[in-house]
Structure 1
Amino acid sequence: MSRHSQWDSSLSFIFAMIGAAVGLGNIWRFSYVLYSNGGGTFFIPYLIAIAIMGIPFLILEYGVGFSFKDSFSNIMRKINPKYEFVAWALVLFVFIVTIYYMVILSWDLIYLLASFTFNWGTDTAAYFVQNVGGSSNLSNAGFLLIPTTVGVLILWVIIWFIANRDVDKGIGKVSKIMIPALFIIMGIIIVYALTLPGAGLGINTLLTPDWGRLADVNIWLAAFAQIIFSLSMGQAIAITYASYLPENSKLIDNVLIVVASNSLFEICTAFGVFSILGYMSVTAGTPMTQLVTEGTGLIFVVFPMIFNIMGPIGRILAPLLFLAILFAGVTSALGFLEPMLNSTAEKLDWSRKRTATVLAIIGCAFSLLLTTGISSYLVGIVDSFVNEFGILILIAVQCIIFAWVYGVDRFLDVLNESSTFTVGKTWTFIIKYLLPIVLIIMWVSGIIKLFSTAKSFEIIIDLIIIASVMAVAYFMTRIKQPEEDS
């Protein structure tokens, strides 16, 4: 069997985990979620979600990965051969995340290059539709958005170049450079943003509490969803990365460092984003409500518009912002790819280099399908379905398997052995009872929301994804491993 990789230190692991957690969602999703879910009031469900879901589940994942020191599919097979199918379904869904994530990163790469000349012009929305993301008009599906296509090819080569090396020399080394660089760049942007005229208006708009919203169940679901997506929870990334840890690692301490870094990053970034939106509101006389948008609209339409009116400082901030997004995206994409890479290499007894090459070719081919004239529409459909349907239910299933079938108490010794902080009955209770219930409620509400608004084209795409995942998961489960573990 191929030798299981190992980090050279806990520091490589911590930077890689922060890299996997801190991604595009922290930069462009969190500020919108905070604003649209009761402002300052949202911090209450957000902090509770971290305490009862983010930290406990990551502790479980670290315990599982560190105890078994194996790939996710092998871990599930060791617990019960029937569960290997669940493992493959999950790592395939996470691999699909890598596929569309690379397309979004390609958009960012285009904007990074455009930011040196402000190529996007005055109509930033038209530039995005015509050159980068396309529209939802299905008649545009027949042609490629060439800049996006070229960007995808370049980025897949970069990801392959890093991923085909041993984890420590590839992901570990890149994370140690990119994550500190990302934090420094965002720090510069945030500090400058806070000095802009109108920053106060932006932050007040962001934080103004709406206490009545606390009774709204949707606010709580939004908080739990943000924690899952923000920490890349339950996606086998933490289990895979933790399986590479050296002996005597302080598992629980590492969880707390990663969660704190992730939350501080997204909260500080939200202050920066809204300070800049406040500046735009004051300078251009545009009401804040018209400027606040989520995701790609915020970063690729509103922000270039703001940089246009900023003068010389906009010429500095624009490349910095798009470079920060690129760093955050690359380290996250490596995290999304790793569970599939590790499980496939162990299953087929392939070298890491061979597995990374095959997966990069397959991943790149599918990413290219998402660079047509309906690129952003397709990415949106796949993103919603994979997260709301696939990953959520599989996190709940994992929780039940590790807690009830394998027995969560079996991880206590390994978790507490070298850690400064320890876990016990409260943690066990959360994993066994509280989390499965919360996750299943979230899944049901997500499914209702997803399918009550879905158009027939979107449902066809969803069905293709589910059929493909089930077929490949079944195929991978049926393959006999070259050497069964003794």
Structure 2
Amino acid sequence: MATATTQTTRREAFGSRNVFILSAIGSAVGLGNIWRFPYVAYEGGGGAFLIPYLCALLTAGIPLLFFDYAIGHRFRGSAPLAFRRMHRAAEPLGWWQVLICVVIATYYAVIIAWAAMYTWFSAQITWGKGNEEAFFGEFLQVANVAETGVSTQFVPQVGIPLIAVWVIVIVIMGLGVKRGIGRANTVLMPLLTLMFAVLVVQALFLPGAAEGLNAFFTPNWEALADPGVWASAYGHIFFSLSVAFGIMVTYSSYLKRKTDLTGSGLVVAFANSGFEILAGIGVFAALGFMAQAQGVDVSGVAESGITLAFVAFPTIVSQATGGSIIGVLFFGALVFAGITSLISVLEVVVAALQDKLGWGRVRTTLTVSIPVALISIAMFSTTTALAVLDTTDAFVNAFGIMAVALVAVIVVAWILHKLPVLREHLNRRSSFRIGRFWMLLVGALAPVVLGYLFVSEIIAKTGEPYSGYPQWFLAIFGWGMVISLVVLAVLLSLLPWRRNSHAKEDPEYDAFLVEEDYEPDAETGAVRVASMSKGARS
């Protein structure tokens, strides 16, 4: 009986530290790196923005990345299990992160589907009548929610590739951590890097590229006096490195016991930032060409997000020599970056239920992925999908990810007083040792910055209806979504753990406890300092 239980509860693991690093970079490098960072940097002072960006990276991004790594690796579990092992009352924090990932997965997949279709369109440059009309009118067939309500009208050119995306992702997830996620990132991340490097080289040789780069890098030192620029830098770093999603907690739980955690974290953080700067160079070189072709200043064509990707870039592709190659590389890069990020988001959910219920990998993957895929297809293959996506993304990011990050840091640092335990765990296994300054950054600076950003978002969202959407619409997909995530997180934490789940028995976790002189409470799974020394144990 004991042997059977051990086999059931043994955690999967990445094949090597390098595979973990590629997977962590794959999670961090997503759509936002390509279409958000360049515009944020441009608006935040161009070259001068690198100062608040680097400050945010060093004082918040990397410390919180270490924070997530330490929790996942030390407590050997998905987000809910790791927080539960820290203290039973902290379990809802993990489920809060899991539910945020469920919501993100539903709409993130559809953006990958858009990019897949535009990769195909790029090969023949078939955009329709005009780029803006082609995307919003002909491709998405956007309807006004104030007039139509939430539509159920199916848009086949979105729905069919969305189904294909989910099939690919479900297969990857079903293969497991080593054979599925690890191998996918081992293939996709080098391809993504190669494709984007070629794209940047192509863009640099376009007429007007120099003007675009001047706009991107020319420093506006006055912007550094604006607190909003610094807040923007910190806000971007939080989302860019995938902290507080539960992703890095989950991924680090799959690492072997003697892994260099802080060294790995530094590689991931700087690789992510390097990719963002590379994206900025490529995007603004292309925008410089677009501005020259239209006879306007770069500021007249600089866009962010969906408009940059699906309106501005098709214009560049249509006008540039060799535009088809640029389009295929750009939208193909979006597809690869999106898939590596989406599988990391889904893994948070799969790992949580696998730990909670003690099920096998395939069964848990299908139980999670199929309902999420069906919701995604039903909600985001319709004519009102863009409004739902816009609202859900804005509210879940502001009042989901940012809020759970704030609460988690306060709970772990100030209520449970676990930062010394996490610091000691990191230093036992890492080449780059951290001291009390790390605890100060996580326990003091992070709550202040997150609190400021959170309050700023509340003021912005309550001042006037977001994007002019009807109040009933915001109540359902905005405020209602945010509140329901918290309520459901608490309810999920009240459900009992299966007897054969990781909450009760895990050989890898037990090995950590013997090594570090900690032991779990048999009833709650919380960790307490052992009463006997290592010598007495042995």
Q: TM-score range by the shorter chain?
A: over 0.9
Query: 1:90: Cα distance to partner?
Result: 1.7
Task: Confirm or deny that 1:466 pairs with 2:477.
Answer: no
Q: For structure 1, which segment, 116-125 or 36-45, has the greater mean C-alpha deviation from structure 2 after superposition? A: 116-125
Question: Which residue does the alignment assign to 1:40?
Answer: 47
Question: Which residue does the alignment assign to 1:9?
Answer: 16
**Which residue of 436, 444, 469 maps to 1:433?**
444
Task: Confirm or deny that 1:413 pairs with 2:429.
Answer: no
Query: 1:451: Cα distance to partner?
Result: 2.4
Find the aligned partners of 2:475 and 2:141 in 1 and give their Cα distance: 20
Question: Which residue does the alignment assign to 2:463?
Answer: 452
Query: 1:4: Cα distance to partner?
Result: 1.1
Question: Which residue does the alignment assign to 2:387?
Answer: 377
Question: Which residue does the alignment assign to 2:368?
Answer: 359
Q: For structure 1, which segment, 410-419 or 348-357, has the greater mean C-alpha deviation from structure 2 after superposition? A: 410-419
Task: Confirm or deny that 1:317 pairs with 2:333.
Answer: no
Residue 119 of structure 2 contacts residue 328 of structure 2 at CA under 8 Å; is this kept in 1? Answer: yes
**Which residue of 170, 175, 188 maps to 1:160?**
170
Query: 1:136: Cα distance to partner?
Result: 5.5
Task: Confirm or deny that 1:174 pairs with 2:184.
Answer: yes
Query: 1:232: Cα distance to partner?
Result: 1.0
Question: Which residue does the alignment assign to 1:73?
Answer: 80
Question: Which residue does the alignment assign to 1:234?
Answer: 244
> Could you give the per-residue CA deviations for residues 284-323 of structure 1, whole angstroms, max 9, x where no partner exists?
3233222111111011011111111113x11111111111
Q: For structure 1, which segment, 425-434 or 257-266, has the greater mean C-alpha deviation from structure 2 after superposition? A: 425-434
Amino acid at match of 1:385: F
**Which residue of 339, 349, 355 maps to 2:358?**
349
Residue 98 of structure 1 contacts residue 336 of structure 1 at CA under 8 Å; is this kept in 2? Answer: yes
Query: 1:196: Cα distance to partner?
Result: 1.7
Residue 75 of structure 2 contacts residue 86 of structure 2 at CA under 8 Å; is this kept in 1? Answer: no
> Could you give the per-residue CA deviations for residues 18-52 of structure 1, whole angstroms, max 9, x where no partner exists?
00000000000000101111111111110000010
Query: Could you say if the C-alpha distance between residues 470 and 61 of structure 1 is closer, same or farther in structure 2, counting changes exceeding 3 Å?
Result: closer
Residue 75 of structure 2 contacts residue 85 of structure 2 at CA under 8 Å; is this kept in 1? Answer: no
Q: Which has the larger radius of gyration?
A: 2
Amino acid at match of 2:254: Y
Query: 1:131: Cα distance to partner?
Result: 3.8
Question: Which residue does the alignment assign to 2:492?
Answer: 476
Question: Which residue does the alignment assign to 1:278?
Answer: 288
Query: 1:406: Cα distance to partner?
Result: 4.2
> Could you give the per-residue CA deviations for residues 348-400 of structure 1, whole angstroms, max 9, x where no partner exists?
11112111112111111221212211222211101000001111010011112
Query: 1:80: Cα distance to partner?
Result: 2.4
**Which residue of 277, 299, 309 maps to 1:299?**
309
Task: Confirm or deny that 1:110 pairs with 2:120.
Answer: no
Output the TM-score relative to the length of structure 1. Answer: 0.97
**Which residue of 402, 414, 419 maps to 2:412?**
402
Q: Specify the SS of the correspondent of 1:417.
A: helix
Question: Which residue does the alignment assign to 1:99?
Answer: 106
Query: Could you say if the C-alpha distance between residues 467 and 50 of structure 1 is closer, same or farther in structure 2, counting changes exceeding 3 Å?
Result: closer
Find the aligned partners of 2:345 and 2:168 in 1 and give their Cα distance: 15
Query: 1:142: Cα distance to partner?
Result: 4.1
Query: 1:101: Cα distance to partner?
Result: 0.3
Q: Specify the SS of the correspondent of 2:418.
A: helix
Q: Specify the SS of the correspondent of 2:431.
A: coil
> Could you give the per-residue CA deviations for residues 443-481 of structure 1, whole angstroms, max 9, x where no partner exists?
111121122232412233223313432443233222211
Question: Which residue does the alignment assign to 1:308?
Answer: 318
Query: 1:67: Cα distance to partner?
Result: 0.8
Residue 122 of structure 1 contacts residue 308 of structure 1 at CA under 8 Å; is this kept in 2? Answer: no
Structure 1 residue runs of 5 or longer lacking an equivalent are: none
Mapping for residues 113-152 of structure 1, pairs under 5 Å: 113-135=120-142, 137-138=144-145, 139=147, 141-152=151-162
Residue 131 of structure 1 contacts residue 145 of structure 1 at CA under 8 Å; is this kept in 2? Answer: no
Query: Could you say if the C-alpha distance between residues 224 and 114 of structure 1 is closer, same or farther in structure 2, counting changes exceeding 3 Å?
Result: same
Find the aligned partners of 1:452 and 1:146 in 2 and give their Cα distance: 37
Q: For structure 1, which segment, 31-40 or 16-25, has the greater mean C-alpha deviation from structure 2 after superposition? A: 31-40
Find the aligned partners of 2:93 and 2:418 in 1 and give their Cα distance: 18
Task: Confirm or deny that 1:340 pairs with 2:356.
Answer: no
> Could you give the per-residue CA deviations for residues 106-125 of structure 1, whole angstroms, max 9, x where no partner exists?
11111112112212135011
Find the aligned partners of 2:464 and 2:374 in 1 and give their Cα distance: 29
Query: Could you say if the C-alpha distance between residues 142 and 163 of structure 1 is closer, same or farther in structure 2, counting changes exceeding 3 Å?
Result: closer
Amino acid at match of 1:153: I
Find the aligned partners of 2:187 and 2:424 in 1 and give their Cα distance: 34
Total equivalences in the alignment: 485
Find the aligned partners of 2:330 and 2:9 in 1 and give their Cα distance: 40
**Which residue of 62, 69, 81 maps to 1:62?**
69
Find the aligned partners of 1:256 and 1:136 in 2 and give their Cα distance: 45
Amino acid at match of 1:118: I
Mapping for residues 201-280 of structure 1, pairs under 5 Å: 201-280=211-290
Q: For structure 1, which segment, 270-279 or 72-81, has the greater mean C-alpha deviation from structure 2 after superposition? A: 72-81
Residue 186 of structure 1 contacts residue 324 of structure 1 at CA under 8 Å; is this kept in 2? Answer: yes
Q: For structure 1, which segment, 415-424 or 283-292, has the greater mean C-alpha deviation from structure 2 after superposition? A: 283-292
Q: Which runs of 4 or more aligned residues in structure 1 lie more than 6 Å from their structure 2 counterparts after TM superposition? A: none
**Which residue of 280, 284, 299 maps to 1:289?**
299
> Could you give the per-residue CA deviations for residues 208-254 of structure 1, whole angstroms, max 9, x where no partner exists?
22211211111011001110111111111011000000121111110
Q: For structure 1, which segment, 335-344 or 46-55, has the greater mean C-alpha deviation from structure 2 after superposition? A: 335-344
Find the aligned partners of 1:445 and 1:223 in 2 and give their Cα distance: 14
Query: 1:59: Cα distance to partner?
Result: 0.8
Q: For structure 1, which segment, 252-261 or 286-295, has the greater mean C-alpha deviation from structure 2 after superposition? A: 286-295
Find the aligned partners of 2:39 and 2:143 in 1 and give their Cα distance: 22
Q: For structure 1, which segment, 160-169 or 399-408, has the greater mean C-alpha deviation from structure 2 after superposition? A: 399-408
Q: CA RMSD in A?
A: 1.5
